[in-house]
Amino acid sequence: MFDRKMLPNVGRHVYGLGGIALGLVGLTWGDFAAVWQPVPAEFPHRRTLAYITAICFLVAGLATQWRKTARSGLVVLSLLYLGAALLWVPRVVSYPRIFGTWAGVAEQLGIVAGGVAAYASLGQGNSDADLRVGELGRVLFGVCAVMFGLAHFSALPQTAEMVPHWIPPGQRFWAIATGVFHIMAGLAILTRVQAKVASRLETAMIIGFGVLVWAPSLVSDPKVHMVWAGNSVNLALVGAAWAVADWLNEPRGLRAL
């Protein structure tokens, strides 16, 4: 009989690769990840802090690739993404009616959720503590997925422009459709109705976004910091969604369902 335990925790490894990518981008440009890490320009010793943060991302991302150090790496990465989420809070307070600021928080918290789920997946045995941690990751990611979908509708023209024009039946169609898909996946994960399938499909959709939207920009604008930062953040989000899906599809995650 097929034993899923024989498979590696792929989501955790992809999650770590996202951290490695952000670390390398930060070291290359000596800056934070553009709009995704909105550290004020006037922040004291900003450039030094950017290098330190990049090194933390790189080391923590590498740590997640080995079982013995993975949990420590996941904790560090989750805290780094949580810090990025908190940096969005002043924008939410200043512009509460602009949904994009809320979506900025959700994107970072969604990545945090993946780290939490991956951490739980690496626990020993079926402890109640690991189950609670894994469920926290599931619920948080479900909420964030719904937010991703709502963000599509709050800025529909801008979202449609990101869709490659050659994909039928049209840019606006896919902007609306993917927004609906995000919401449906988030609700499924939250309600535990077809959560396993929904989490896998959500992961596939984020991968598709990276392949169709972000990856081509590496060819067209290879020297632009934001392009590399955006690809790195999307890779981290892929890893987060994958880690949540891994949690939901493993025995402990199934027990929680």
Contact yes or no for 208/167 (Cβ under 8 A): no
* pLDDT of 253 higher than 60: no
Q: State residue 102's pLDDT score.
A: 95
Closest to 77 (Cα-Cα) out of 233, 250, 254: 233
Choose the weakest-confidence range: 114-118, 121-125, 128-132: 121-125
pLDDT of 9: 82
Place of tokens 């951290």: 19
Average pLDDT for 71-78: 98
Closest of 240, 208, 221, 3 to residue 116, by C-alpha = 240
Q: What is the mean pLDDT of the chain?
A: 93
Looking up tokens 């590498």 gives 62
Domain boundaries along the sequence of the chain? 8-256
pLDDT tens, 138-151?
Answer: 999 999 999 999 99
pLDDT value at position 4? 46
pLDDT 10s digits, 151-160: 999 999 999 9
